[in-house]
Structure 1
Amino acid sequence: MALSRLLARPLLSTYFLANGVQTLQNAPALAVDAAPVTDTLAPAVEAVAPASVHVPEDPQTWVRISGALQLAAGLALATGKAPRLSAAVLAGTLVPATAARHRFWEASDSATRNQQLIHFAKNVSLTGGLLIAALDTEGRPGLAWRAQHATHDAKREAALVGARMRAKVAQAT
């Protein structure tokens, strides 16, 4: 593993570890800000979720789920366990959390607006870093490349086997 990945993943995860703990500790207060987002998100998730899956409607439950996911995925990213998946999960939690907590466009005074804009921009930047981490194949070919080349190799191998079989049949006759 490259030294940059060895250092970058734990550094990137520190925000999510701290934020996950803070979110779990302050879920009731954060649920107030999250309610407009969860009121929109819950029906959308319920529409695509299987009937056997219970989709919570309570904003506090959504906040707790987000905090737990950030804590678990942050720990996984920091330790290098499923880094691509954990980075994608963190990005998935960061988008609604940003929409809930850093709505700079609704701020009434310029100081609050500037602070919210800074946090919004920070979260957008973190999302970019997480997307890079989620797509990082560590120099190895990704799944799509492997599938495409496996298909190509199988077709080539089948053609070679077919040619050998035709040659054997021609020799036998």
Structure 2
Amino acid sequence: MKPVRTVARALLAAVFVRGGLEAYKNPDRFVDGAKAVTDRMGSTLGSAGLPTDPRSLVRLTGIVQMVGGALLATNTATKPAAIALAGSLVPSTMAGQDFWSGSEQPQPGPLLRSDAGTSVLKNLGLMGGLLLAAVDTEGKPGLAWRTGHLTEHAQDSLKRAAETTAKETRRAARTTAKETKRAAHLTAKEAKRAAEGARRGARTAARETKLAMTSATAGGILSS
């Protein structure tokens, strides 16, 4: 699809490069048409920092269209170039004029209204093509998709981290319970063993005492 995009951008840019060059070289040819725009939108142009003088407006628009067209044709900074070119069409489109025709303004009538409507539709068609060029991602994921994908990935990572933490906590709790049970069991065994040792020692002491008493008694009998 890249060759198709390249050809399409070049064809779209050719309109602006040619028109912009002609406007810059011969601005007086388009002054009458541009005056209709400045007369209707002078305050708007001034507030936007654009020239309200028809000749200056024509030359500035020509420069924008030459540079933007060249960038678009060479696939360089295509998004800013397409946006700039679309913006260059806004004044004449909103004023319902096509000051690139370079022809004398005819007398008002049905034919003039028809020509103006055609010019506006032509500008809108060009703006549509430029907007498509501006949002074209050349087959790569768009910003919205990348943002959503990153958000989803972050949520999955958090979920996995939470599950891992929960598993580790349960494993640690089971290990602690086992160790506690083992320690208690060992303590009980040690206590039992100590008690048995004490009882054994007591029995041994009792036997030794009994033997001592028996020996003493036997010795007394023999001596008498």
Q: Please give the TM-score of this superposition, normalised by the length of structure 2.
A: 0.61
The alignment status of 1:79 with 2:74, answered yes or no, reads yes
**Matched-pair contact (CA < 8 Å) for 2:46–2:52:** no
Query: Closer, same or farther in 2 for the Cα pair 1:109/1:132, shift >3 Å?
Result: same
Number of equivalent positions: 165
SS in 1 for 2:137: coil
8 Å Cα contact 2:17/2:70 also seen in 1:
yes
Task: Give the direction of change, closer, same or farther, for the CA distance of 1:136–1:63 in structure 2 (3 Å limit).
Answer: same
Distance of aligned partners of 1:61 and 1:166 in 2 relative to their CA distance in 1, 3 Å threshold: farther
SS at match of 2:83: helix
8 Å CA contact 1:84, 1:135 repeated in 2:
yes
Q: Could you tell me whether the CA contact under 8 Å between 1:42 and 1:55 is conserved in 2?
A: no
Name the counterpart of 2:33: 33
Change (3 A) 1:97 1:55: closer
| SS of aligned partner of 1:101 | coil
Residue 145 of structure 2 is aligned to residue 150 of structure 1: no
Question: Contact between 2:50 and 2:57, CA under 8 Å: does it hold in 1?
Answer: no
CA distance in 2, matches of 1:39, 1:115: 19
Partner of 1:67: 62
* Structure 2: unaligned runs, 5 residues or longer: 100-105, 174-224
Q: Quick one: distance in 1 between partners of 2:107 and 2:26?
A: 22
Between the aligned partners of 2:155 and 2:83, the Cα distance in structure 1 is: 34
What are the residue-to-residue correspondences of 1:3-22 with 2, within 5 Å? Answer: 3-22=3-22
Q: TM-score, normalised by structure 1?
A: 0.76
Separation in 2, partners of 1:40, 1:111: 21
Q: Deviation digits for residues 126-148 of structure 1, max 9, x if unmatched?
A: 22222222222222221122112
Relative to structure 1, the CA distance from residue 122 to residue 55 in structure 2 (aligned partners, 3 Å threshold; closer, same or farther) is closer
What's the offset of the Cα at 1:71? 0.7
1:128 is the counterpart of 2:128 = yes
Using the aligned pairs only, state the percent identity. 35
**Post-superposition offset of 1:20:** 0.7
3-state SS of paired residue (1:137): coil
User: Residue 45 of structure 1: CA displacement?
Assistant: 5.7
Residue identity opposite 1:166 in structure 2? A
User: For residues 44 and 160 of structure 1, do their structure 2 counterparts lie closer, same or farther at Cα, with a shift above 3 Å needed?
Assistant: farther
Q: Which residue in the other structure is 1:161 paired with? A: 161
Gaps of 5+ in 1: none
Distance in 2, matches of 1:140 and 1:123, equals 29
CA contact (8 A) 1:31 1:63 kept: yes
Tell which has more relative contact order, 1 or 2 (C-alpha 8 A, sep 6+). Answer: 1
Instruction: Tell me if the contact between 2:82 and 2:133 (Cα under 8 Å) persists in the aligned partners.
Output: yes
